[in-house]
């Protein structure tokens, strides 16, 4: 299995050392960012929307709001109100392909925050619900809106919801 190695956060000496080991075909030991001169700069990098990531149940959420919603959904699942709770479900919107000129194009995917099943109202049956937690309209960038609408179009039987937290 080939791992992706990101060298942006390394100081110049360590970066040169890792690049030399990679060119020689050798194994690269794990990088301890605490020993890197640039580790403080990496620690200070903030989320685009000032969200603070949080870990709950071994799962890292991009914001406290996502983590809080996950806890709510766990309670609903334990009470039997919802079933089949999935975290970060992925929807492939377009498969990868090669065009007529031989250029490869990567797949396009949308990853939601949560997916679960609720019993339909009025005897309709089960309804699959997909949720994305957002901190208001400002966090719903154009890329998100395009993928969101594309996912809705390709999955007409799934109910897509945005949970806005201010």
Query: How confident is the model at residue 122, as a pLDDT?
Result: 63
Task: List the chain domain ranges.
Answer: 12-44, 54-164
- Residue 116 in this model has a pLDDT that exceeds 90: yes
Structure tokens at 142: 């154009």
Give start and end residues of each alpha helix (H) in the chain. 12-23, 39-44, 64-79, 142-154
Residue 115 — pLDDT band, cuts 50, 70, 90? very high
Tell which residue, 151, 63, 72, has the closest CA to residue 161. 151
Compute the average pLDDT of residues 90-113. 91
Mean pLDDT of the chain: 76
Structure tokens at 37: 């001169």
Does residue 39 or residue 113 have the better pLDDT?
A: 113
Alpha-carbon distance 33 to 53, whole Å? 19
Residue 33 — pLDDT band, cuts 50, 70, 90? very low
């Amino acid at each position: 299995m080939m791992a992706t190695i990101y060298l942006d956060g390394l100081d110049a000496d360590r970066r040169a050392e890792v690049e030399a080991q990679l060119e020689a075909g050798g194994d690269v030991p794990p990088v301890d960012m605490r020993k890197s001169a640039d580790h403080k700069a990496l620690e200070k990098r903030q989320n685009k929307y000032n969200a603070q990531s949080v870990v709950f149940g071994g799962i890292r959420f991009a914001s406290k709001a996502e983590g809080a919603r996950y806890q709510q959904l766990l309670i609903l699942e334990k009470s039997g109100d919802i079933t089949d709770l999935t975290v970060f479900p992925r929807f492939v919107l377009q498969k990868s392909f090669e065009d007529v000129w031989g250029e490869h194009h990567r797949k396009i995917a949308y990853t939601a925050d949560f997916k679960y099943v609720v019993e339909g109202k009025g005897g309709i049956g089960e309804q699959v619900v997909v949720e994305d937690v957002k901190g208001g309209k400002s966090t719903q960038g154009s890329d998100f809106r395009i993928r969101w609408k594309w996912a809705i179009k390709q999955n007409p039987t799934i109910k897509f919801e945005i949970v806005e937290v201010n």
